[in-house]
Structure 1
Amino acid sequence: MNEKQCIPISGLNARVGDWTEWSGKPVAESLNDCSGYAVAVIVRTQGIRQPLLKEALTSVSVQSNPCLAVVVVHAGAEILERVESVCREIPSLSWVMIHAERIENKRGYPLNIGLQHACALLNDVEAVAFLDDDDILYPDFSARMIQALGETGADVICAASNRSVPGQAVEEGYRPIPFLNLFVLNFIPINSYIIRLATLAKTPVFFDETLDVVEDWHYLLQLLQNGFRFEAIMDVLSEFRVISDGNKKIKDNPEKWENAYRYIHAFIQDGSFLINGQMIRRMMTDQNIKAAENQENLNAMQMRLEELESRLLEKTDQVIALLEKNDA
């Protein structure tokens, strides 16, 4: 690693202090100007899965609309050189690497570091997204998301996402459903949405750093609580991979999950949420459509049963007539 401790990028470091109290400074970068990027993609990594990290960063580098990778390294200083090396192996990647040095902190901490720096890019970047180092974005992610952001005027755009398990074919993962289901389900992968940076800068929302798991679910609920308007598109624009990671011990701990779910349920029960009326109307419309579809399916099934019953009675009458004829 070179001796540089802090690289000023478009005045980034000067602006960071205006946002939050978290530590974390850029320690390496690939550019002198952050302007002209559609999305700042916050890539959370511990630097221990370098081949996967390279795939994740490559997926950022090939976006049809240019993206800036904000690579947040949540690890000791000895890992920084490895991650910087991975970044430099991708010539087309625009990136800044930030050291989230408090390794004892939980999963929300590196994401908050990334958000802190993304907010400082308000005048240069339109939206922010998240990507774990074992997941990938599909090439049209940024273009379609930014297009939907402009067409809908929403604050958050969600898209569909595929799911993959090593050694198996990629399969359908998440498909958008009415967003108010977030009050009962954690169903939106962290790599499948973007947030309008102007709204986030006006109403900063950060991850809860007390949670060992499902911090992403809690974050989405916070966005709803603060009145962010959600819209969905059905395009499949990302892929989350089911791979064991450095948090396996935590994720395999039932007590951690139970505590997290209790925490979130209490947050929902005790909270007051600024839900956009258009979102509620769309949810009710979706429910009415689904109810109509269900009723239509029931009607079709009833007609089919009646048809089968009629045929059965007809066959029965034919058999009885044949038997009576034989008896005669």
Structure 2
Amino acid sequence: MKYDTVDNMVSVVIPTYNRAGSLVRAVESVLTQTYSELEVIVVDDGSTDDTAAVVENLQKHHGLRLKYVYQTNRGVSAARNRGINQASGEDISFLDSDDYIYPKKIEKQISFLKDQGADVCFCNYNVIRKKKRRRGLRGQIEKPLLHYIQSKMTPQTNAWMIRRDILAKKDISFREGCSWGEDMEFFIKVMYAAEKIVFLDEPLFDYCVNESGLSLFSWDKLEKDVFIWTEIWHWLENHVADQELLQTYKNVIFGYRIPSLLVYRLWEGRKMTADARGYAELYRPYLKQMNCSNGLRSVKLAIVWTLFNLKMMCARKSDR
């Protein structure tokens, strides 16, 4: 992908829902970037707080560089898709409304894309959790799509810069109505569709983990995990022409990724013994496909699976 010598317009999509308190910081972190050819598109997904007033006040200072789009509550996927459709930039980036980016993020990513002749770039970041800071991604990433499927790297949504024509040509969008894993599906499609992907190994934003917003355990997440990864597999099956590579993806998805999601959720719910047994039996066909396709991660998975089965065995004995 060749870039023009002129600066590309970058559109940063910020979906939000009742986050008026943190939205100012997020928007300001973009509109004060060292890179000037950009716009911010705030997509308000049916907020009931004063989000609209906050954006209106920001628009007084930043003018047409800040767009505001309101929609009835349809979820984050619909909000991101709406933002993409409203974008006028050649490149698309995302920002969660409770996060912020460093002042040179966009300048550095655009420069790196141009230097490398790439059409997709993701950067490193810092994870802020319980007042502690750690690097989000570690080590060089040579095979982004495979490593993503293997769970060896998980770039956060804010990390990406994508040529908008990649999304248009391949008809890639976030799956609407899906409340789990829609970002994984989207970026897997992006990585496969891209001619060249580059990793900028420099933290360019903070990803702030909101402990109070973490999802509580529920058994229906097993179904959601299986659904999204089987959908990802069907898409790859229909698009990947290299049969050897396709088989590698299949081995990892069905031999590690789906079993790992099931096993770790079963382990998390192990104290609800009857339910755990029932779900383990329900998803037995997927668990039987567990293999050693993912190295040490597969070994660790096998250990947890063994511990779970021992836990269920002990529970049976105590029931007698």
| 1:202 CA drift (Å) | 2.7
Give the one of 126, 129, 136 matched to 2:100.
Answer: 136
Match of 1:213 in 2: 180
State the shift of 1:111 in Å.
0.5
Equivalent position SS for 2:118: coil
Matched, 1:108 2:74: no
Contact 2:20–2:49 at 8 Å: present in 1 too? no
Measured in 2, the distance between the counterparts of 1:83 and 1:215 equals 28
Give the 3 Å change call, closer, same or farther, for CA 206–272 of structure 1 in structure 2: same
C-alpha deviation, 1:141, in angstroms: 0.8
- Aligned residue number for residue 134 of structure 2: 171
Q: Does 1:43 align with 2:10?
A: no
The alpha-carbon deviation at position 276 of structure 1 amounts to: 11
SS in 2 for 1:236: strand
Report the number of matched residues. Answer: 232
The 2-side partners of 1:143 and 1:227 are apart by: 21
Q: In the alignment, is residue 183 of structure 1 matched against residue 149 of structure 2?
A: yes
Q: Is it true that 1:54 corresponds to 2:18 in the alignment? A: no
Asked whether the 8 Å contact 1:64–1:139 carries over to 2, the reply is yes
Give ranges in structure 2 of 5+ residues lacking alignment: 1-5, 246-320
Paired with 2:61 and 2:137, the residues of 1 have a C-alpha distance of: 29
The 1:57–1:76 alpha-carbon spacing in structure 2 relative to 1, beyond 3 Å, is closer
Aligned-residue Cα RMSD (Å) equals 2.9
Hey, which bits of structure 1, 4+ residues long, moved more than 6 A? none
Question: In 1, are the aligned partners of 2:125 and 2:207 still within 8 Å (CA)?
Answer: yes
Aligned partners of 1:148, 1:92: CA distance in 2, in Å? 29
Whole-angstrom CA distance in 1 between matches of 2:241 and 2:56: 45
Which residue identity is paired with 1:174? L
CA contact (8 A) 2:20 2:51 kept: no
Q: Which amino acid aligns with 1:272?
A: E
Matched residue type, 2:187: L
Asked whether the 8 Å contact 2:174–2:182 carries over to 1, the reply is: yes
Match of 2:207 among 221, 240, 252: 240
- The one-letter code sitting in structure 1 at the alignment partner of 2:225 is Y
Q: Greater Rg, structure 1 or structure 2? A: 1
Change beyond 3 A, Cα 1:160–1:78:
closer
Question: Structure 2 CA distance, aligned partners of 1:52 and 1:189?
Answer: 18
Residue 229 to residue 44, structure 1, CA distance change in 2 (3 Å): same
Contact kept, 8 Å, 1:149 with 1:196, in 2: the verdict is no
1:275 Cα offset (Å)? 6.6
Deviation of 1:199 after TM superposition, in Å, equals: 2.6
| Matched letter for residue 112 of structure 2 | A
Q: Spell out the pairing of 1:290-301 with structure 2 (5 A cutoff).
A: none
Against the structure 1 CA distance between its residues 259 and 41, is the aligned structure 2 distance closer, same or farther, given a 3 Å change threshold?
same
Q: Is 1:164–1:171's contact at 8 Å kept on the other side of the alignment?
A: yes
> What TM-score, normalized to structure 1?
0.63
Distance 1:160 1:92, change over 3 A: farther
Given the alignment, which residue of 79, 84, 93 partners 2:55?
A: 84
The CA deviation at 1:81 is 2.9
Q: How far apart are residue 130 of structure 1 and its match? A: 0.5
In structure 2, the CA distance between the partners of 1:112 and 1:272, relative to structure 1 (3 Å rule), is same
Aligned partners of 2:109 and 2:121 also within 8 Å:
yes
Matching residue of 1:63: 33
Identity %: 21
Unaligned runs of 5+ in 1: 1-34, 281-328
Aligned partner of 1:71: which letter?
Answer: V
Aligned counterpart, 2:221: 257
Residue 276 to residue 37, structure 1, CA distance change in 2 (3 Å): farther
Would you say the 8 A contact 2:127–2:134 is kept in 1? Answer: yes
1:94 maps to which of 39, 60, 65: 65
Please say if residues 45 and 75 of structure 2, whose CA atoms lie closer than 8 Å, have aligned partners that are also in contact: no
Residue 160 of structure 1 corresponds to which residue in structure 2? Answer: 124
SS of structure 2 residue aligned to 1:174: coil
Determine if contact 2:180/2:228 at 8 Å carries over to the other structure. no
2:26 partner amino acid? A
Q: Take 2:209 and 2:33, find their aligned partners in 1: how far apart are those partners?
A: 23
Q: Which moved more, 1:200-209 or 1:78-87?
A: 78-87
